[in-house]
């Protein structure tokens, strides 16, 4: 069975934690997109793992993970990350595979990425990890893939300094590189978890272009980026937070901007530790946007959602939800394609009373306070997608499913 997990907002929804949770039952985890721009946090007991390139499945002991062809890989970052998890007692040798079709981020890409963004009249706010440059070279057919390191014509055409930089990685990558299509064919029928990066609204095609990343963050990317045909995808789950965050620039219809809202935003930012794992930047905070969430449900053909961070509202008076946009005096219920229109929309925010009791203490659906259950129903009805699971804290034990992830209905 092939199960896809994607982000349903602007990234940082808690995908890393959920991938770790599902990895317990998965037999293989394949990350299908992005690069070291991602920041996936997994907390096990007192240990916190910060992953950027390595699939979050690596923390589950004995599980094999693959960096898929849809990724762009900075080998220096990758081996640094592996050294960091080794220092945290994670044995990874023999469990990490890299698609030989994945593209490489070479020295120079990072500074180019940053300087191009700095020169834009409206910068995107890139993480500066060379991601945009690597995908650009891939599309213009000037990229260097893992397999190309062993192609003498391509190797000889590279600059002397790039070759010198790549030489040690070439040796280290040799036992890790695989022909992913052949590998996936051999693994057919196993429980395979396809791990997304970024989020729906950062997707190159379906996100808030041009304020997006350069990879495919939606579920259809799981097929291309992990070398399996689209009809082999069995189930798609989307993770979202009970509020909305965004790092970097770009439209954010439900952002909390007014004075009283900024107080609420600051409170949520502190409670939710809403600072970038990759860059440390404070994340922008907004109300949960149901217009955008319904869009994510459709674009990803989601079977179910995983709702995270609802526990942060425990003890608050109310939760604000955006149920429609007003654009140039007219109410609309679709997610506009134009960044300028998204900048102009006014969100219609409805307030829901916060429940008695604590979501943070729930360990199954029955233990969710009644008021919070009602909110869940409102979200499900609006989006047409059922909420299959909950993350009510950073730990594995603070996670539960209402519907089994590994069952296809
Ligand atoms: P995870 O997987 C949140 C954002 C950057 C910037 C834009 C483009 O942790 O959810 P890039 O470096 O790709 O050129 O940046 O996309 N961005 C993310 N925001 N979570 C992420 O990944 C992100 N990856 C990129 O902040 O606005
Ligand atoms: Mg992140």
Nearest-CA residue for ligand 1 atom 10 is: 11
Give this prediction's pTM: 0.97
For residue 189, being part of any structural domain is answered with no
Residue to mutate (ligand 1; options 212, 247, 251, 252; most atoms within 8 A of CB): 247
260 is a catalytic site residue: no
Count of C-beta atoms within a 10 Å radius of residue 172: 12
216 CA distance to ligand 1 centroid (A)?
12
Question: Residue 313, class by beta-carbon neighbours within 10 Å (0-12 exposed, 13-18 middle, 19+ buried)?
Answer: buried
For residue 394, being part of any structural domain is answered with yes
Which residues form ligand 1's pocket by a CB distance below 6 Å? 7, 10-12, 34, 37-40, 124-127, 129, 131-132, 197-199, 202, 213-214, 247-248
The CA distances from residue 248 to 174, 251, 265, in Å, are 36, 10, 16
For residue 159, being part of any structural domain is answered with no
Phi-psi category of 360—alpha, beta or left, where left has phi over 0 and alpha has psi -120 to 50?
alpha
Tokens 């240990």 -> residue: 47
In the chain, the largest separation of any two C-alpha atoms, in whole Å, equals: 68
For residue 292, being part of any structural domain is answered with yes
The active-site residue, picked from 20, 24, 40, 156, is: 40
CATH of the domain at 337: 3.90.170.10
For residue 227, being part of any structural domain is answered with no
Residue to mutate (ligand 1; options 111, 112, 199, 202; most atoms within 8 A of CB): 202
First to last CA, the chain: 12
Please name the helix (run of DSSP H) or strand (run of DSSP E) that holds residue 331, with its range, or none: strand 330-332
For residue 169, being part of any structural domain is answered with no
For residue 358, being part of any structural domain is answered with yes
Please name the helix (run of DSSP H) or strand (run of DSSP E) that holds residue 326, with its range, or none: strand 318-327
Q: What is the pLDDT along the chain (409 residues), one digit of tens a residue?
A: 999 999 999 999 999 999 999 999 999 999 999 999 999 999 998 999 999 999 999 999 899 999 999 999 999 999 999 999 999 999 999 999 999 999 999 999 999 999 999 999 999 999 999 999 999 999 999 999 999 999 999 999 999 999 999 999 999 999 999 999 999 999 999 999 999 999 999 999 999 999 999 999 999 999 999 999 999 999 999 999 999 999 999 999 999 999 999 999 999 999 999 999 888 899 999 999 999 999 999 999 999 999 999 999 999 999 999 999 999 999 998 999 999 999 999 999 999 999 999 999 999 999 999 999 999 999 999 999 999 999 999 999 999 999 999 999 8
Bond prior to 210 in cis (omega within 30° of 0):
yes
For residue 260, being part of any structural domain is answered with yes
| Backbone angles phi and psi of 2, in degrees to 5 | -110, 115
Task: Write out the residue range of the structural domain in which residue 322 sits.
Answer: 241-401
Number of domains within the chain: 1
33 CA distance to ligand 1 centroid (A)?
12
């Amino acid at each position: 069975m092939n199960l896809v997990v994607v982000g349903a907002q602007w990234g940082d929804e808690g995908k890393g934690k959920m991938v770790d949770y599902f990895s317990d039952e998965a037999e293989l985890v394949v990350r299908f997109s992005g690069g070291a721009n991602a920041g996936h946090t997994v907390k096990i007991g007192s240990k916190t793992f910060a992953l950027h390139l390595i699939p979050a499945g690596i923390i589950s002991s004995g599980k094999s993970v693959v960096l898929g062809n849809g990724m762009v890989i900075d080998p220096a970052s990758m081996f640094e990350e592996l050294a960091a998890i080794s220092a945290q007692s994670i044995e990874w040798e023999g469990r990490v595979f890299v698609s030989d079709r994945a593209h490489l981020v070479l020295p120079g890409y990072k500074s180019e990425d940053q300087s191009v963004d700095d020169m834009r009249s409206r910068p995107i706010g890139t993480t500066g990890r060379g991601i945009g440059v690597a995908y650009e070279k891939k599309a213009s057919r000037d990229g260097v893939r893992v397999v190309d390191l062993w192609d003498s014509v391509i190797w000889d055409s590279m600059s002397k300094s790039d070759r010198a930089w790549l030489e040690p990685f070439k040796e280290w990558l040799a036992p890790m590189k695989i022909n992913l299509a052949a590998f996936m064919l051999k693994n057919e029928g196993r429980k395979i978890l396809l791990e997304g990066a970024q989020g729906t609204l950062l997707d190159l095609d379906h996100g808030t272009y041009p304020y997006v990343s350069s990879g495919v963050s939606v579920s259809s990317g799981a097929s291309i980026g992990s070398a399996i045909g689209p009809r082999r995808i069995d189930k798609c789950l989307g993770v979202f937070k009970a509020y909305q965050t965004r790092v970097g620039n770009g439209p954010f219809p439900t952002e909390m901007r007014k004075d009283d809202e900024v107080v609420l935003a600051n409170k949520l930012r502190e409670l939710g530790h809403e600072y970038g794992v990759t860059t440390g930047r404070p994340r922008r905070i907004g109300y949960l946007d149901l217009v955008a969430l319904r869009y994510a449900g459709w674009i990803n053909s989601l079977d179910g959602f995983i709702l995270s961070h609802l526990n942060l509202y425990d003890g608050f008076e109310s939760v604000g939800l955006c149920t429609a946009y007003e654009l140039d005096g007219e109410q609309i219920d679709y997610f506009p394609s134009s960044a300028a229109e998204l900048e102009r929309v006014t969100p219609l925010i409805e307030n829901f009373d916060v429940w008695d009791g604590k979501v943070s203490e729930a360990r199954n659906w029955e233990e969710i306070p009644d008021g919070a259950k009602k909110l869940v129903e409102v979200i499900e009805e609006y989006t047409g997608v059922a909420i299959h699971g909950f993350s009510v804290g950073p730990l594995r034990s603070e996670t539960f499913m209402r519907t089994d992830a590994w069952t296809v209905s």
